Amino acid sequence: MTNPRILAHFQESADLKMKAASVLAQPIEQAIELMFTALSNGNKILACGNGGSAADSQHFAAELVGRFERERLPLPALALTTDTSILTAVGNDYSYQEIFSKQVQAFGQSGDILLAFSTSGNSGNILAAIEVAHERDMRVVALTGKGGGKIGKVLNDADVHICVPHDRTARIQEVHLVTLHCICDGIDVALFGDDAHE
C-alpha cells in the first residue's frame, strides 16, 4: 500500500507547479529575454543562494557552461557559492553577509545579470549582493517565495522578480528548479532556434 504522506508530497508539488505556471510564465519570459540579451552582448550571469538555493545556483551555472539539452558553445555563468577559500575568507575577515557582495564587486560589470535565489526573500547576504549589483549597473533576476520578502521591495523596474506563490520551502525550491530549466531552454531557443531536444 502506498504511503499517503508520499502521495501528498507529489500531489502538492504538482498542484503548485500548475498554479505557478500561469503566475510565473510572464516573469520567466522576461528573465529569458534579459539573460539572452546580456549573453548576446558578451556579458555574463552571476548566481548566488544559500543552502538548497546554493545548489540551484550551481546547477544553473553548470547548465550554461556545459549544456542543457543540445550541443552548443559554453555560455558565461558563474556560481558565487563554490569557492570555499573566498567564502570562508570573506566570512571570517568581514562577515557572512558579504560573501556574495564582495564577489559581485570583484566580478560583476555593467550589463551582467545577477541571478539571486532566496526562498524567504529575506536572506541578508543576497540582499547585499543585489545592492552591489545595482551599484554596478547590473540587472537582477530574483527567485523567491513567501511573498518575496525584503528582496521584493529592493528590486527596481529593470529587474525581474519570479516569486513562487507558496510558503513551504521545499515546494518553492521545486518550482525554482522547473523555472531554471525553463530559463535554460528559453536561452537555447533564443540562441539557436526551436529545434530543441536534439
Question: Per-residue pLDDT tens for 16-46?
Answer: 999 999 999 999 999 999 999 999 999 999 9
* Contact indicator for 161, 152 with CB cutoff of 8 Å: yes
User: In the chain, what are the domain boundaries?
Assistant: 12-192
- Is 93 labelled a binding residue? yes
**Cβ count near 85 (within 10 Å):** 7
Per-residue pLDDT of the chain (198 residues; tens, 9 = 90+): 789 999 999 999 999 999 999 999 999 999 999 999 999 999 999 999 999 999 999 999 999 999 999 999 999 999 999 999 999 999 999 999 999 999 999 999 999 999 999 999 999 999 999 999 999 999 999 999 999 999 999 999 999 999 999 999 999 999 999 999 999 999 999 988 876 454
Q: Is 173 annotated as a binding residue?
A: yes
30 is in an annotated binding site: no
Question: Does 50 count as an annotated binding residue?
Answer: yes
Q: Is 166 annotated as a binding residue?
A: no
* Whole-prediction pTM: 0.95
What SS3 class is residue 140?
strand
- 59 annotated among ligand-binding-site residues: yes
Spatial contact of 90 and 102, defined as CB atoms under 8 Å apart: yes
Q: According to the annotation, is 69 in a ligand binding site? A: no
Q: Is 22 annotated as a binding residue?
A: no
Tell me whether residue 134 is annotated as binding. no
At 191 the pLDDT is 87
Q: For residues 162 and 177, what is the distance between their CA atoms, to the nearest angstrom? A: 12
Is 51 annotated to bind a ligand? Reply is yes
Cβ–Cβ under 8 Å, residues 112 and 45: yes
What does the alpha-carbon distance between residue 116 and residue 118 come to, in Å, rounded to a whole number? Answer: 7
Q: At what angle do helices 52-65 and 169-192 cross, to 10 degrees?
A: 10
Has 13 been labeled as part of a binding site? Answer: no
What are the grid coordinates assigned to 174, written together? 521545486
The answer to whether the annotation marks 181 as part of a ligand binding site is: yes
121 is in an annotated binding site: no
Identify the residue whose cell numbers are 540582499. Answer: 127
Q: What does the longest C-alpha to C-alpha distance in the chain come to?
A: 57
Q: In terms of CATH, what superfamily is 12-192?
A: Glucose-6-phosphate isomerase like protein; domain 1 (3.40.50.10490)
36 neighbors 186 (Cβ within 8 angstroms): yes
